[in-house]
Amino acid sequence: MLKVGVVGCGGISGSHVPNWQRMDDVEVVAVCDIRPEMFQKYPGPAHYEDFDKMLDENEFDIIDICLPTYLHAQFAIKAMKKGINVVSEKPIALEEEDVIAIYETAEKMNVKYMVAQCLRFWAEYEFVKSCYESGVYGKLLTANLWRLGGYPKRSFFDWYTKKELSGLIPFDLHIHDLDFLVYAFGAPKSYVFNRKELPGNDYLSATYDYGDFFVNTEASWYKAGYPFYMGFRFQFEQAVVALEKDGLTVYDANGNRSKPLSGEVGIANESDFDLPSGDAYFNELRYFANCVKENRPVEKVTKESLLTVLHILNEMK
């Protein structure tokens, strides 16, 4: 049994704790939060209001960090110094030196570390990456990715809305799409961006030039109560692969449309892909658990790719 401790029982923990609990070979031994009222939803594990005490009183294989962004690096380093493997919510940190310190600690302590960049484990995004790599629809020409929503209204002492704590729209939201681009295509050759940041409003658009193709992206925290909407359109020579409100669709040059992850077919389906449409939050935790269990390197999320992403985001601050 892998023994897991989760620190931070706010919003995103709801995508972590139940997923750990779905795994037969994992036991969530304890959860930690400075607000005890957050424990109600997790009655099974032991409850701690103090992280040091939780580490002292239990043996863990994995600590899972679901804390606000500004605490990620220091809590990861503390757990790794006790010889515990760490998986952390994104972003890894706001500063590049914290990334270096995290990986230095992991190496020195001979433990594994992974930041859970969920799009790397998201079936629809993996599908696009595989289309690019196989060339099944020809070369990639252009892409659009968007991640839109309203300004964060409620969080633990409003940390989301404080630049020095969350990094605002670049580090909190746009990071997902940029991280996917770097994961799938490597570092862009160049980029331009525009940002409108006002009280209660933050909007960023960025265009990444990869030489053979370019990618437009948008991220928003609108003041308006705009419902969260993420998606993409990738224009290949022979097809458009789109994730929109009706899910993933491939529109090909012959006028056919197919739903490759559900197997649903419009007129014809020439796609060879048969990827499972799983839950990215489960997939990322399962991947890390397997790396720990089988003592395999965490190859899917590398320090170099995270540094590339952070370097670009820091120019958008």
Q: Which residues bind ligand NAD (CB under 6 A)?
A: 7-13, 32-35, 38, 51, 66-69, 71, 89-90, 118, 155-156, 172
CB closer to ligand NAD, 61 vs 284: 284
Minimal distance, residue 20 CB to ligand NAD, in Å: 15
Shortest distance, CB of residue 117 to ligand NAD, whole angstroms?
8
Pairing mode, strands 214-221 and 140-148: parallel
What is the per-residue burial (b if ≥16 Cβ within 10 Å, else e) of 270-309?
Answer: ebebeeeeebbbbbbbbbbbebbeeeeebebbebebbbbb
Nearer to ligand NAD, 183 or 236 (CB): 183
Minimum distance of ligand NAD from residue 242's CB (angstroms):
21
Tokens of 317: 């601050």
Closest among 111, 42, 122 to 76, alpha carbons compared: 111
Q: Which is nearer to ligand NAD, 72 or 240 (CB)?
A: 72
Output 250 or 285, the one with its CB closest to ligand NAD: 285
Contacts of 56 (CB under 8 A, 6+ apart): none
The helix-helix angle for 303-315 and 175-185 (nearest 10°) equals 130
Half-sphere exposure of 59 (CA within 13 A, CB side): 2
How many other C-beta atoms are found inside a 10 Å radius of the C-beta of residue 11?
13
Strand 85-89 versus strand 113-116 pairing type: parallel
Whole-number minimum distance, CB 38 to ligand NAD, in Å? 5
Smallest gap from residue 238 Cβ to ligand NAD (A): 32
For residue 122, the SS3 value is coil
Q: CB nearer to ligand NAD: give 144 or 155.
A: 155
Q: Which residue is nearest to ligand NAD, using beta carbons?
A: 10
**Closest distance to ligand NAD from the beta carbon of 146 (Å):** 15
Measured from the CB atom, is 98 or 172 closer to ligand NAD?
172
Rounded distance between C-alpha atoms, residue 87 and residue 113, angstroms: 6
Is the CB of 69 or the CB of 217 nearer to ligand NAD? 69
Smallest separation, CB 215 to ligand NAD (Å): 20
Rounded-to-integer distance, Cα 8 and Cα 229, Å? 25
